[in-house]
Copies of this chain bind each other. A is one copy, B any other.
Amino acid sequence: MARPARLSGAGGRATILDVAAAAGVSRQTVTRAVNDLPGISVATRQRVLAAAEALDYRPSRFGRGLVSGGAHQLGLLVDDLRNPYSPELAASVLRLAAARGWTVVLADVGLTGDSDRSVQDLGAQSDVVIGYLGARAPEWLERLGSVPVVELDPAGPALRGAVRLDPSEAVETLADHLVTVGVKHPLVLDAPSAAVGAGQPSARGQLLLDALRRRGYLPRHVLAGAASADAGAAGTSAALAAHRRVDAVLAFNDVMALGALAACRRAGVDVPERVRVVGIDGLTLGTLVAPTLTTLAVDLDEVARHAVDLALGMLDGSLPRSGDAVQRVVRHRLLVRESA
């Protein structure tokens, strides 16, 4: 099905003028036919539509957007869709965006080889960007260009808008809970963090350790090789073998906690009877396993709501592009399920 020869558009694509010529009408009439506008005879409309079809005509979104404004496009930057955290957040953002009639461009910096390019393209296609920048925030903000940005869970000081996650209160509640249920020898199953020195506890890990120590515990600290289920399982297996008295595993996140759960099962260690397991994040995933996972949950709907709110304000100029006025905090809270 080769295309007719002479087309004016770039890339050999037909433009409205090609259709007009083929149908023997003006471009305005093509617009009327293609956009279902009134003021055109049935016969003409049919002739135009036939010509459009034959030329495989598709209106340029740029031409259209230029004149009619076009829908807002929200850029969403996630770290790795294969990690269940990202899609849950994306789902929340998508829902809010769709409710406003915005479209969402998605870029994944954990997935693509050339993440710099992805970030740059995202900035070019978006009216506003929401997402995780992590340790490379300064560099990537540069690449995003001049769009307003709402950073989620920023690793450092907030350079633009920001929604911060704060687990500190929930960590205290969790520590109290562990005391109450009689835990004696807790273990913090930590993940490496780019923000601290190698071998050091992550910010979350430190929070957990401090809360436990304040209650008289002498918590063990295990630094897994990565924030993955496999690494969580390996770390747990080793720790259970080396320290028989461990009776609670507090993981850096839910995915690692799932690994801990699997390791316990393989070691024939009952959860929560002999060892309690706790994650952080509150992923739906934690409700699909048995025992269901106790976790410090963050309400991603709330995170998304704040982020979109801030983005909106920055976009319409009612909020500045950085500073305290574009900062929000969302606190984790303890979700006691079966595993602890």
Chain B residues contacting A108 (CB-CB under 8 Å) are 91, 94-95, 98
Chain B residues contacting A284 (CB-CB under 8 Å) are 82
- Given A105-B104, A288-B259: A98 in contact with B118 (beta carbons within 8 A): yes
Chain B residues contacting A121 (CB-CB under 8 Å) are 71, 101, 103
Tell me whether A111 is interfacial, beta carbon within 8 Å.
Answer: yes
CB within 8 Å of B: which A276-332 residues: 284-285, 287-291, 317, 320-321
Report how far A284 CA is from B259 CA in the complex, Å: 13
- The chain B residue sitting closest to A261, CB to CB, is B290
Of the residues B81, B103, B229, B289, contact of A107 by C-beta under 8 Å: B103
Could you tell me if B65 and A94 are in contact, using CB atoms closer than 8 angstroms?
Answer: no
- The chain B residue sitting closest to A317, CB to CB, is B3
Could you tell me if B66 and A125 are in contact, using CB atoms closer than 8 angstroms?
Answer: no
Kindly specify which of A53-61, A161-169, A173-181 makes contact with the partner chain.
A53-61
Tell me whether A337 is interfacial, beta carbon within 8 Å.
Answer: no
User: Measured between C-beta atoms, what is the minimum distance from A246 to chain B in Å?
Assistant: 18
Could you tell me if A82 and B71 are in contact, using CB atoms closer than 8 angstroms?
Answer: no
Of the residues B61, B71, B88, contact of A65 by C-beta under 8 Å: B61
Of the residues B11, B58, B146, B320, contact of A69 by C-beta under 8 Å: B11
Of the residues B10, B56, B107, B259, contact of A98 by C-beta under 8 Å: B107
Tell me whether A209 is interfacial, beta carbon within 8 Å.
Answer: no
Tell me whether A211 is interfacial, beta carbon within 8 Å.
Answer: no
Chain B residues contacting A63 (CB-CB under 8 Å) are 62, 66
Of the residues B52, B86, B95, contact of A111 by C-beta under 8 Å: B95
Interface size class of A (residues with CB under 8 A): 35 or more
Could you tell me if A106 and B94 are in contact, using CB atoms closer than 8 angstroms?
Answer: yes
Contact with B along A149-165 (1 / 0, CB 8 A): 00000000000000000
Tell me whether A124 is interfacial, beta carbon within 8 Å.
Answer: yes
- The chain B residue sitting closest to A229, CB to CB, is B288
- With most chain B CB atoms within 10 A of its CB, the pick from A90, A255, A288, A291 is A288
Report how far A299 CA is from B7 CA in the complex, Å: 39
Chain B residues contacting A262 (CB-CB under 8 Å) are 288-290
User: Measured between C-beta atoms, what is the minimum distance from A146 to chain B in Å?
Assistant: 5
Could you tell me if B71 and A81 are in contact, using CB atoms closer than 8 angstroms?
Answer: no
Chain B residues contacting A145 (CB-CB under 8 Å) are 58
Report how far A291 CA is from B76 CA in the complex, Å: 35
Chain B residues contacting A287 (CB-CB under 8 Å) are 229
Tell me whether A334 is interfacial, beta carbon within 8 Å.
Answer: no
Could you tell me if A113 and B87 are in contact, using CB atoms closer than 8 angstroms?
Answer: no
Could you tell me if B98 and A87 are in contact, using CB atoms closer than 8 angstroms?
Answer: no
- The chain B residue sitting closest to A262, CB to CB, is B290
- Report the 8 A-B pairs with minimum CB-CB distance, sorted nearest first: A62-B65, A87-B87, A98-B112, A262-B290, A81-B91, A265-B290, A62-B66, A106-B106
